[in-house]
Each structure stands twice: as C-alpha cells, then as structure tokens.
Chains A and B, each alone.
Chain A
C-alpha cells in the first residue's frame, strides 16, 4: 500500500500544480456568481436555476478533470520514460495501475470537495437552507461515479496510444451512458432479434453512471436518499471499478513499455 500511496501522491501533486483544475473552478465560480447576482422576473425560486447551473458545471468539470487527468497518466510515464526507473524499483505493474487509480480518484475527489463546498456556500446563503446531508450524499455518489470513470479511462490509456484519442472516446462513452444508459432497455424492446439481445446485453454490461446523478434531489429539496441505497450504489461502483482495473492490469502486464 505504501507504494500505491506514493504513486497516488505524485498524481495529486500533478493535479494541483497544473492549471486545468483552477481554470475550471474559477470558471464555475464566476458563472455561478454572475448568475446569482442577477434577479430574473423577481422569481423567489430563481435559486433553483442557480443550483441547477452550478451542479451542471460541477458535473462537467468533474468529468473533464477525471478524464483529462487519467488519460495522460500511463501514456506520459511511457512517453517520458519515467516508467523505467519506476519499474526498476520493487514496484509491480499492478501497483502502478492501483497507484494511478488511487491518485486520480483522490485528486478528483479533492477537486469535487472544493466544488461542493462552493456550491453549499452559494445555495446556503441564497436559499437559507444548507441541506448538508443531501449535499454530502450528492458529493459522495459523484465521487463513486468518478471512480468508475477513472477506472474506465485508465483501461483506455493502456489500449489507445494517444491520450487525446482515449480522452475523446472515454468522454463520448461516459456522456453516452449518462444520457442514454437508462433508456437502452426501452430501446431494446422495440428492436427485432438479434439486435434486441445485443442492446439488452449492452444495457446489462455498462456501468449505469446515470444512477449517481442525484442533482434533481438536491435542486428540488426532495430529502436525503436512504443510506442503504447509497451503500448499494457505492458497492456497485466499487465492483465495476475493480473489474475495470483488473482488465487494465491484464492488458498492462503484457504491454511493452516503449511507445
């Protein structure tokens, strides 16, 4: 675990020394604050729109940070040849995969924490209702979802050579799952065989990331989610992340280190 944490620390340092995170955070903050400073039609419920915009920006930023940070990790190690001195030490390729995952996931969780603190402050001061439990659950579930996304992108990074192609493909897949994932079973019902079986197979194989999108609960104050549901969702994400990391290790252990 010591090696995994050492590797994770380097990834976290990389994130906070790069400008990506700060740009996204400042952009989210500025857009939210500008939106919050104007009053449309004197509508007292305008704060809901503000919350919706802020949460949408947080979701987009989290995906950009997660995919952007993870996609370049292993390719950069190979391109800069830092993988050689690293693996020349008592470090296994499995530990490299685990360390990169831990680092990217923790870095994204830290970034998300900052975003959610900002969201809490904005919604709390504007609405007078801090809804800490709801916000924490939204944060936690998004962290779980980001874990699956990070593992998925890490798998892509050992399959695709260029980080840019991996990032693009991963982004399309994740957005596709988020937008279409919940409708695939209905689509399957209207298809002839064998397409129906194929669509159903995809429906049951893909990680249903859309389950972690609880923005409506937060925006419309629908109360806290049952803890057992949060736990099951966390376990579901953990199983998918583990399977994806195992697949990453299987590919990476036979991968030549030179690009």
Chain B
C-alpha cells in the first residue's frame, strides 16, 4: 500500500514563553504512516501537538529534528503541497470575495485551466451546498457556510490527500453531519483524509485508523475496530484512559464505582464522572 504521509522521528521544540525552562517540546519523536485511501484520525487533548504536527506537514513550521514527507517529498519543498487540500480550524476567508471568486483565486494558484476551474467550482459548490450563495460576499455567510466554503477551497485541486484540522469545530449538529457526509463521500472516492477532531463519535464513525498523541508523544496507533476490541470500550473511553484520566461511573449512592471496562457494557448509561 502506498504511503501518502509519513513522519520519521519528528521533533518540534519551541522557546517556552514566560518560563526559564528554555524550550518546550511540542512533538517528540513522532513516527506516523498514513496509507493511500484511508481516513486517519489524529487525536489528542488540547496542546498535545496535533496542530504543530499539521503545521510541520504543511510547511508552516520547521521541524527541530526528524523529517516529514507527503507523497515521498520532504515537506520543506513547496511542491509537496501540490496534491493536498487543507482545511484549517476556524478561518475567515477574504470577506470581500464571493465563494466562486475565492475558488477561482485558489484554482489560479494551482494553474488549473479556466474551463476546468469553472467546472470544478460548479461541482464543489454543489457538493458543499453553497450554489445559492455563490455570488454573495463571504462576509454575509454564517459560520457553517464559511466552514463549507473552506472545505470547497481544500478540494479545488482535486487533492489526493486532505488534511482537516477540526473540520466540525464550532458547527451545529446539521453542519457537522454535512461535513461528515462529505468526508465519507471523499473516502468512497478513494481520497486519503488525515484529520484531527475532538468529536470522537464522529472519528469512530468515519476513520479507518487513529493515532492518539499526548504531550507530543504517540500513545496509540491502530485500526479503530482493533482498538475497540483490545480495550473493550468505545473510542472516547479509550482516549480518556490513554491520556491519563481514570474513568469512573457511579452505580448507586455510595462510594462504589465501575471501571472503564465495565462502563462499556450496554446497560451502563449513567453519567460518567471523570477524575484526573
């Protein structure tokens, strides 16, 4: 199977702000491989190093050590980004442009011929259900519409790899469902999707494999089904356990509590209490 995305002993250090420690390790010896056609969930709590890893993959930040490759090309080369699409978290696109002007602008960067550009704009605006608003300035769009126009720009070059940073962040349930449908559709078309999300239910639904990182280190990597089988719990419980939370569910008044493994049984629908 072709490796689309790869990191080798990736390490990113930053100068620690407001402390005398000198530097903070954001990503520590991260080794990842994402294969063609799979949907890969990149999970971790806030500050775990997900966005930093994505920033290295996209060439925004240089790695302190190690390497990252897209399609076998080192990410330091701009050409590595020719075949990818990227949707950042909460971006406000050029407000004075309309959706079709924005897509035309990005298509021009990829040197897509005009006839092909117009065809793709029509298809993408239909896909993200923004045909009715194609001639309206983006400043008039709702948050969900802005996120969908963001998804359309990420797809303008018909990318083989999509990198999505919390694509459903801040969206209402309907918006989240639409984004999830689009990811599912891309998966069916054979695209590779690498995305981070805090919506673990959604990750469980759409991802083939996941990696969980915490404090810059890879904690777990594997197929979703295998992890669920191994830990006998859903992805959310696995995630909480891996990042160091002890999940306990009060069964009845009193001090007794169930463990993570017990919680996964169907009859346990009670409120979970998390203790760090």
Contact = CB atoms under 8 A, between A and B. Distances in A.
Same complex: yes
Interface of A: 2-3, 5-6, 9-10, 13-14, 17-18, 80-82, 84-92, 256-257
The binding surface of chain A is classed by DSSP as helix
Contacts of A9: 105, 108
B276 interface: no
B40 to A, nearest CB: 17
Contacts of B60: 84, 87-88, 257
Given A13-B101, A90-B82, A81 B91 contact: yes
Contacts of B108: 2-3, 5-6, 9
Interface in B134-169: 150, 153-154, 157, 163
Contacts of B110: 89-90
A85 B153 contact: yes
B78 A88 contact: no
Interface residues of B, number: 33
A6 B91 contact: no
Given A88-B60, A89-B81, 11 more contacts: A3-B109, A81-B92, A84-B60, A84-B88, A85-B86, A85-B88, A85-B153, A88-B81, A88-B86, A88-B163, A256-B61
- Best-surrounded residue of A84, A87, A256 (most CB of chain B within 10 A): A84
Contacts of A90: 78-79, 81-82, 109-110
Contact of A13 (B79, B87, B90, B96): B96
Contact of B97 (A13, A88, A91): A13
A225 to B, nearest CB: 38
B59 interface: yes
B93 A10 contact: no
Interface in B62-107: 78-79, 81-82, 84, 86-88, 90-97, 101, 105-106
Contacts of B90: 81
B226 to A, nearest CB: 31
The 3 A-B residue pairs with the shortest CB-CB distance, nearest first, are A88-B86, A6-B108, A84-B88
A67 B154 CA distance: 32
Interface string B201-217: 00000000000000000
A91 B101 contact: no
B111 interface: yes
Nearest to B150: A85
B96 A82 contact: no
B88 A18 contact: no
A77 to B, nearest CB: 9
A85 B96 contact: no
B48 interface: no
8 contacts: A80-B94, A82-B91, A82-B93, A85-B88, A88-B84, A89-B109, A90-B79, A90-B110
